[in-house]
Amino acid sequence: MLRIFSRIMVKVGKMNHSDQVRSCQLVKPVQVILVSDRCLNQQKGLPRVPVPPLWKTCEGYLSALEPIIEEDELKRAKQLVEVFMKGGGVGEELQRSLERKACNTDNWTADLWGKLEYFENRSPVVINTNLPIVCPRLDFRDKQGQIRCAAKIIIALLEFKTTIENETLPAENLGGKPLCMEQYSQLLSTCRIPGLVRDSVVFHAKSANPPKHITVVYNFQFFVVEVYHNDGTSLTVDQLCVQMERICNFTSATNTEPVGILTTLNRDSWSKAYLSLMKDQTNKESLSAIERSIFTLCLDRAIPRESDKYCTCDFHLITHGGGSQWNSANRWFDKSLQIIVAEDGSWGLNLIHIVTDGTVIMAFTDYLVAYMKKPEMIQASILPLPMPQKLHFSVTPDIKEIIEQAKRSMDGNIRNFGLSVMVFDHFGKNDLKAHNMSPDAFIQMAIQLAYYRMNKQVCASYEAVSQRMFRHGRVSLLLSTTSVSAAFVKAFDDPEKQNTEKIDLLQKAIKTHKENIKVVTGGHDIVAHIIALSLQAVENKIPMPDIFRDISYKKFLNYQLTTSQVTSNTGSVAVHQVDECFGYSSCYSVHNSHFVIEMAASNTDKRRSTHHLIQNMKDALLDMRALLEQTPRAT
């Protein structure tokens, strides 16, 4: 989400490359309750996201600045805010303009992120914006096992699709409040379309002629597989196995150009190649078949693996395919949903961020993983099946050269992708709750402590949270670094500080974090409000207020820690996206007796090390827990 800021800063007064900010990828999950109601019945009753009071956002803005900027910078920022909030001044004018705009849309924050981040972001979607989910490895190691697993996943997806179409998907409820279910209806039959200036998204599920096929990719070739009979019933697992065996036998050896690698390019390059492809009628029909398909199934080769429980090669496979020599071209990264199944039992999902967020994706993933454990029903295959339809592409010399460029670009991006995964099994949420500590807030403090120990400074950080209590609710940003969290990390290794004082600071930091979560999920997103106000100045051709030109505003948006809690009930793990201009991304899951922590960063800055930071985080968790054990009054 926050890659939007690089474009905002260009509009408000030019921003140095190092001052840009990364997009949000996943969201803090909520413990939802399924209720017996049609999932879309509750949509109309959901409230709109409110526009927060100007004074409250400005107050929160200054509070967020306090721990991350110098004293003289904070003094000037306070002066600029005072001028901005002056009665009858530009702040009130921009606020009124935003309030008018909010009255004419269901969700002004979703419109903000959608237009400027998802559609105008020109970075490659791979690694940068797509949502990868790594699922627990399945027990097969050959082609037949891969095919049968893939067939069962297809059936699971089709059954899920039926619940969406029939509106029988159980509605979700949090604390007695219904949650927006719209994202589920956008998961399937959806595709991102590259554009020269901004991308678009197409939804085919509710078209006059909704798709009845999926796209299967094997050996870089694309096939259309019809998954429904003429009477509307779906193919069986055995019938789907027949179809995929035909595909694998057909493409055992090929010199086909890997057109899928084009979707790994930056959006400017890909949009130009896309327009070139569309000039040919055969290409146009093939692209339409991919875009209209219910989802894409990628049958991958196995890549070299490691021996640890959460093998990082699985994370690389699902995130980017392993490179042009492996499976990066065995993809269509613009599809809303790609199911990836490798020959060695590795599998997972790769999704576009335009239509869905982490809470919905993980709930959907848990459904698939649970379905895979069900016993199969034996169904005889009697009806004759049409042959899968191979999609053809006419590749000109110019497109062939762009394909080669895409290979080099993708491989370079992968080399710059640093990733570490740790299963922290020394304790889990049960132990922390025994100490009256919020597990999520405790982990947030540990991340900040680990970063402070490595860099000897406090940085801006955020945790992504959900606003699905509102109509069309998406993600919001909880500013994790506060004055009390900064005081805690600075005091923790100070030999002059007593343990009781450190405990007090930890408790205050955790209490503040929990209170801030309630504020953000309740509709007050300081970051979205501040940015929206700056954009109102652009839209209304009002001279940009000094508050948005000051160095403090750039530092406010320069997040070096971007975090998400995305916990799975089935052992699946989410991967956070990265950006070469910024710091670390972390996605973690919380369990009764352990945590799983994923850490990613760009290797373009040699000072960054995901391995060192994740090791420091392990030490921070252990040291913080030791502090609790040594100080009984914390309980």
Please give the positions annotated as active site.
353
Q: Which of 232, 352, 235 has the alpha carbon at shortest distance from 295?
A: 352
Q: Which of 384, 510, 493 has the alpha carbon at shortest distance from 449?
A: 493
Backbone angles phi, psi at 418, to 5 degrees: -95, 135
Ramachandran class of 130: left when φ > 0, alpha when ψ lies in -120 to 50, beta otherwise: beta
Q: Which of 221, 262, 257, 260 has the alpha carbon at shortest distance from 402?
A: 262
The set of residues, in sequence order, having a beta carbon less than 8 Å from that of 471 and lying 6+ positions away, is: 43, 46, 47, 48, 49, 106, 107, 180
The set of residues, in sequence order, having a beta carbon less than 8 Å from that of 363 and lying 6+ positions away, is: 32, 172
Length of the chain: 635
The answer to whether the CB of 422 falls within 8 A of the CB of 585 is no
| Structure tokens, 115 | 């237009």
The Cα–Cα gap between 598 and 613 comes to 11
Q: At what angle do helices 267-278 and 397-415 cross, to 10 degrees?
A: 150
The answer to whether the CB of 115 falls within 8 A of the CB of 7 is no
Q: Report how far apart the first and last C-alpha atoms of the chain are (Å, whole number).
A: 38
Q: Which secondary structure element, helix H or strand E, spans residue 559, and what is its range?
A: strand 559-565
| Structure tokens, 52 | 């927060």
Instruction: Work out the burial of residue 16: count CB atoms within 10 Å of its CB; fewer than 13 is exposed, 13-18 middle, 19 or more buried.
Output: exposed
Question: Which amino acid belongs to residue 171?
Answer: A
The answer to whether the CB of 165 falls within 8 A of the CB of 86 is no
- Residue written as tokens 């100007």? 54
Q: How far is CA 531 from CA 92, 465, 535, 548, 609, in A?
A: 15, 18, 6, 9, 31
Q: Can you say whether the dihedral through the CA atoms of 278, 402, 299, 250 is positive or negative?
A: positive
Helix (H, G, I), strand (E, B) or coil at 309: coil
Q: In terms of DSSP bridges, do strands 475-479 and 417-424 run parallel, antiparallel, or are they unpaired?
A: unpaired
- Residue written as tokens 């652009």? 538
Q: Can you say whether the dihedral through the CA atoms of 606, 581, 575, 305 is positive or negative?
A: negative
| Structure tokens, 400 | 């062939």
The answer to whether the CB of 561 falls within 8 A of the CB of 461 is yes
For the CA atoms of 313, 319, 324, 329, what is the dihedral angle to 10 degrees?
130
The set of residues, in sequence order, having a beta carbon less than 8 Å from that of 549 and lying 6+ positions away, is: 12, 13
